[in-house]
Amino acid sequence: MADTNLYPVSEAIAASAHITKDEYETLYQESISSPETFWAAKAEEFLTWDKKWDKVREFDFVKGEARWFDGGKLNVSANCIDRHLAERGDQVAIIWEGDDPSDDLKVTYKEVHEQVCKLANVLKTRGVKKGDRVCIYMPMIPEAAYAMLACARVGAIHSIVFGGFSPEALKDRIQDSDCQVVITADEGVRGGRKIPLKANADTAVAQCPGVSTVLVVKRTGGDVAWDESHDVWYHDAMAEASADCAPEPMDAEDPLFILYTSGSTGKPKGVLHTTGGYLLQAAMTHKYVFDYQDGEVYWCTADVGWVTGHSYIVYGPMANGAITLMFEGVPTYPTAARCWEVVDKHDVSIFYTAPTAIRALMGQGDEFVTQTSRKTLRILGTVGEPINPEAWDWYYKVVGDSRCPIMDTWWQTETGAHMLTPLPGAIALKPGSATLPFFGVEPVLLDGDGKEVVGAGEGSLAIKSSWPSQIRTVFGDHNRLVQTYFSTYPGYYFTGDGARRDEDGYFWITGRVDDVINVSGHRMGTAEVESALVLHEKVSEAAVVGYPHDIKGQGIYAYITLMVGEEPSDELKKELVALCVKEIGPIAKPDVIQWAPGLPKTRSGKIMRRILRKIAANEVDALGDTSTLADPTVVDDLIDNRENKG
């Protein structure tokens, strides 16, 4: 078993680490036994408050409520920018590396301050006030970070929509949170290809009467349509804006952002995060988990459209006055050596990415890595899905030259920041394990009866008490929050993941136990893809499951039942793929479509997804109990005609 594979803490790293083994043990105990004392001290240490809080924490997991640092006042943009100016105004805040390797830019904290203040004033001029929603649909350029911080400065709630989402998906999100401003760019650039962001935004905004301003950054200078009634060029507006803008004093529990994420049912949910607790845990984990030391260059390859980009490109690093690298491109462009070339070019010390990227690069061969030096690398990180031992090994040995510990960080959009993770100077590693809980986090495994598993064992992963960066509500639908996270196991936050705990107390995430799939680290509800597929007039029914995929982790396998009289064809398959791209985006493209004359259902009509998952995974000898099937011949047909026989 992989457990025997233990990588002790490196002495070199422990010598200068923020947290050592003894400190971890003592502080973890303290964080659980005296949470108020622990978090109050950390809130003082990490953040600058305009007014101190009245109460550290209050929570009720029956009602799904949590409040941290209630009564305290602070502004996130002031914490990420202004308070650094005296000491490090001229230090680089953001290193931007363009899609084209010859394109880069360094922006100091002073410069970020100026840009953010101006943009905050632009927002105010366009009528944005505290509590209003602003949608950000941007490529990975510094203006995306300015947009986030400008919203925070005026107290507006941003809702970032990943640039890979379709106009349809963008429209749904703008409407759901009733955004009045959209910040976008003419086009994005990734891997040498242009992405028509403004054109997509135009299509979306045409169905969003509440949008009064579309602010457009000129990234490529490509042709765009223009509607004088609401389109505004970013550079024009910025040219007239004052660089003087006092940060809005915010309550610790005022909303900071909404971020849509997929669940097992229905439309994506607007996960709402607030100000004080979120920023504290983002900053603290960034410093401790990556052992960030002043002046180091830190690079998280995520997109700001995902929570990883929020917490670990912008808010966490900038709250700590770090140098954060923002990459516009993709790891394989112009070649698979790109990441390591960027590491060498900018002297990157800390590199944080997803298993899917590691596997893709691993498949290209070691040469791309070994031709670079990577001598500045000190700490590696991974997030998004369980990392398989082969990929871990390659990352450790080839990328990190067996010198850099790998922080396998388990968390979710809803948790806001790391929850289970090693700490470089404190916790020995086991490949594939997210190891131990971060300070203040109380993970439990629950068995089928909802009882806590004691010691080593397996179960549903749940969290027993509130943590500062916890989801506060589902925007506009608090009942959905309670239903989704606090009802399955009353009194606990249910993560949706299964996990195992070994004899050393290490956690091993086994994957989702609900109908959520994880494709290249992108989270998707199978129901969302099904809803897109059944929009086709020839489709009668669709069932979507995940299946093991070498690079993506999981691939999308769709079973399609056609309307009576319709014939399967390759043409129709193409139309169905195109429909998923249109409704959701390219990340939702089915990898496999199987024509299914019938779907396996129980006598009460419920689709037996368990069986569909087995067939998709080519595990047809292990279908399990099929006695409740209404029509067993359906399954035989699906097995005979399955697409994955490899």
Distance CA(497)–CA(434), nearest Å, equals 13
**CB closer to ligand WT7, 75 vs 353:** 353
Distance CA(373)–CA(265), nearest Å, equals 47
Alpha-carbon distance values, 109 to 146, 322, 553 (Å):
11, 10, 38
Chain position carrying tokens 């069986």:
611
Both tokens of 72, joined, read: 């305290």
Query: In this chain, which stretch among 47-55, 411-419, 469-477, 533-541 interacts with ligand WT7, using CB under 6 A?
Result: 411-419
Q: Verify binding: residue 386, ligand WT7, rule CB under 6 A.
A: yes
Phi, psi (rounded to 5 degrees) for 106:
-120, 130
Whether 297 contacts 95, CB under 8 Å: yes
Q: Verify binding: residue 383, ligand WT7, rule CB under 6 A.
A: yes
Three-class SS of residue 13? helix
Query: In this chain, which stretch among 99-107, 145-153, 202-210, 378-386 interacts with ligand WT7, using CB under 6 A?
Result: 378-386
Whether 179 contacts 215, CB under 8 Å: no
Q: Verify binding: residue 412, ligand WT7, rule CB under 6 A.
A: yes
Closest separation between CB of residue 159 and ligand WT7, Å?
15
In the annotated binding site, the residues are 190-193, 308, 384-386, 408-413, 497, 512, 520, 523, 534, 536, 539
Distance CA(321)–CA(318), nearest Å, equals 5
Q: Verify binding: residue 526, ligand WT7, rule CB under 6 A.
A: no
Q: Verify binding: residue 341, ligand WT7, rule CB under 6 A.
A: no
Q: What is the DSSP string of 413-459?
A: TTT-S--B---TTT--B-TT--BSBPTT--EEEE-TTSPBPPSSEEE
Closest separation between CB of residue 417 and ligand WT7, Å?
9
Q: What share of the chain is helix, strand, coil (3-state, %, to 5)?
A: 35, 25, 40
**CB closer to ligand WT7, 248 vs 497:** 497
In the annotated binding site for ATP, the residues are 384-386, 408-413, 497, 512, 523
The interface with ligand WT7 within residues 494-513 (CB under 6 A) comprises 495-497, 509, 512
Q: Verify binding: residue 385, ligand WT7, rule CB under 6 A.
A: yes
With CB under 6 A as the contact rule, the residue among 77, 413, 484, 488 that binds ligand WT7 is 413
Distance CA(186)–CA(194), nearest Å, equals 10
Q: Verify binding: residue 384, ligand WT7, rule CB under 6 A.
A: yes
The interface with ligand WT7 within residues 229-268 (CB under 6 A) comprises 261
Q: Verify binding: residue 417, ligand WT7, rule CB under 6 A.
A: no
Whether 540 contacts 561, CB under 8 Å: yes
Phi, psi (rounded to 5 degrees) for 511:
115, 175
Q: Verify binding: residue 492, ligand WT7, rule CB under 6 A.
A: no
**CB closer to ligand WT7, 88 vs 523:** 523
Three-class SS of residue 371? coil
**CB closer to ligand WT7, 121 vs 518:** 518
Query: In this chain, which stretch among 86-94, 125-133, 384-392, 473-481 interacts with ligand WT7, using CB under 6 A?
Result: 384-392
Query: In this chain, which stretch among 31-39, 128-136, 172-180, 402-410 interacts with ligand WT7, using CB under 6 A?
Result: 402-410
Query: In this chain, which stretch among 31-39, 207-215, 489-497, 632-640 interacts with ligand WT7, using CB under 6 A?
Result: 489-497
Helical spans, DSSP H, in 60-108: 76-80, 85-88
Q: Which residues bind ligand WT7 (CB under 6 A)?
A: 261, 307-308, 383-386, 408-413, 434, 495-497, 509, 512, 518, 523
